[in-house]
Each structure stands twice: as structure tokens, then as C-alpha cells.
Structure 1
């Protein structure tokens, strides 16, 4: 897992990531709002969200090799605010594929796509 600090606020970082994911031709499958869920449970957590995203074709190619990779798909980027600083965490598709013993030509392209999203998000917030 890789963690990077963003120089912008939580909402701006989230909006930027969402835009970049969609511009990359990927689909946002869900957004889990852990902060909201904590509030509903009567607890405090602050801003913590996970964006689940991907390309169904690429993910399916991996699952055709080994269906157990489904536990780690779609891909995820976590965003959180900690004492006024915003962070993102993500795992590269190659890391996930290696854990499942998958070797497929699509993995390199998936890595490049995720890294491009992260690179642009961090560049736009610095």
C-alpha cells in the first residue's frame, strides 16, 4: 500500500480524484463514506472515504484467470483528513495480482492508469 499527502483539502482532493478516474475512462462503482457511517453509529471519525473504481473489462480479465481476485476488485483509493492534512492510500494492481498469483498483460496498463490518476491528483494539489 502506498500513502501520499495531498496539499489541498479533503473535498477538493475527492472531487479531483473522481474527475480523474472518470476522465481515464474508468467507472466509479461506489463511494464508501466511513465518516458518515461513524456518525450514524453515534461515533466521531471525521472525513474518511473510499472510492471503488475500475474498468470492468480489465477486472474481468483478471477474474477469468483467478476468481479469488474478486475480493480485491474493484480497485480502491482511500482519502482521509488527519489534523487538517489530507492523505490518499492505494494499492497498485500489480501488487494485488501478485498476491493472487496472477500474471496477465493487462496488469501493466492497469498500473499505468492508476499511477497516472495519482500523479495528476497530486500535481494538481501542490
Structure 2
């Protein structure tokens, strides 16, 4: 689709764990369900592999996501929404997520439906605006 393959990545001034912690607080304040938090570094260590800090957060609101799945069932491959906090080899922490415009194009969604999932950027701003 474009040079970033529909993924938005922005730097975080916090550790991977604190980045996800802050995002969880912002999501819960909006009554958005946290479905899973996966510590991929810990899972790699369980099988004797090394991975820099990496955590994946799955979240959403069934009342927001269900209409999208009714309109286009295959969007369930990208729902619930996800954010990935990860540490690069230079020590910088990044927060990455799917661009809602990418999902709109990928699944031919209407503007009205995209509003249901266009919540990540404002929540990230909220979670990281006060350091």
C-alpha cells in the first residue's frame, strides 16, 4: 500500500512495559476492553530465545467492532485492534499500530464504519501527553 505497509510507528519516552501500562490506563478510561497483553520477550525466553522487550496489546469494544465484521467478515483478521510496543536495537522504544486509513482501504470500509476503529491515535496522544 505504501512505504510503511499501513503501520504507524511513533517513539515512546517510556520503557516497553510502561508504554503499554500507560496505554491500558487510557483505554480503560474510555471503557475499552483489554483482551490480552502478550509479553513476547518473556515467551521467547521460555523457549531459550532472546528478544528485545516487545509487548502486544489487544483491545476493543464489541459494539464498535461487530458492525465492521458484519460489513466485512474478514476484518476479524485485524480485530480486535492491536498495538505493539517494542525496543529497537538502539534502545529506543516504539509504539506501532495499524493505520485506520489502511484498514479502510484494505476492507473497503465506509467512513462511518472507520470511525468505530479510529481511536488509537487520540488515545496514544492522551496517554503520552503528560510525562
Q: TM-score, normalised by structure 1?
A: 0.89
User: Which digits, 9 at most, give the CA deviation of each residue in 1:26-52, with x for residues without a partner?
Assistant: 111111221111101110002101101
Question: In the superposition, relative to structure 1, how do residues 56 and 66 fare at CA in structure 2: closer, same or farther (>3 Å)?
Answer: same
For 1:35, which of 41, 44, 47 is the aligned residue?
41
For 1:13, which of 11, 19, 28 is the aligned residue?
19
Once the two structures are TM-superposed, the CA of residue 84 in structure 1 deviates from its matched residue by 2.8
1:61 alignment counterpart: 67
Runs of 4+ in 1 over 3 A off after TM superposition: none
Once the two structures are TM-superposed, the CA of residue 106 in structure 1 deviates from its matched residue by 3.4
Structure 1, 98-107 or 14-23: larger mean CA deviation: 98-107
For 1:100, which of 94, 101, 107 is the aligned residue?
107
Match status 1:46 vs 2:46: no
Where do residues 83-122 of structure 1 align in structure 2 (5 Å cutoff)?
A: 83-103=90-110, 105-111=112-118, 113-122=119-128
After superposition, the CA RMSD in angstroms is 1.6
- Number of equivalent positions: 124
For residues 109 and 68 of structure 1, what CA distance do their matches in structure 2 show? 16
Unmatched tracts of structure 1, length 5 or more: none
Higher helix share: 1
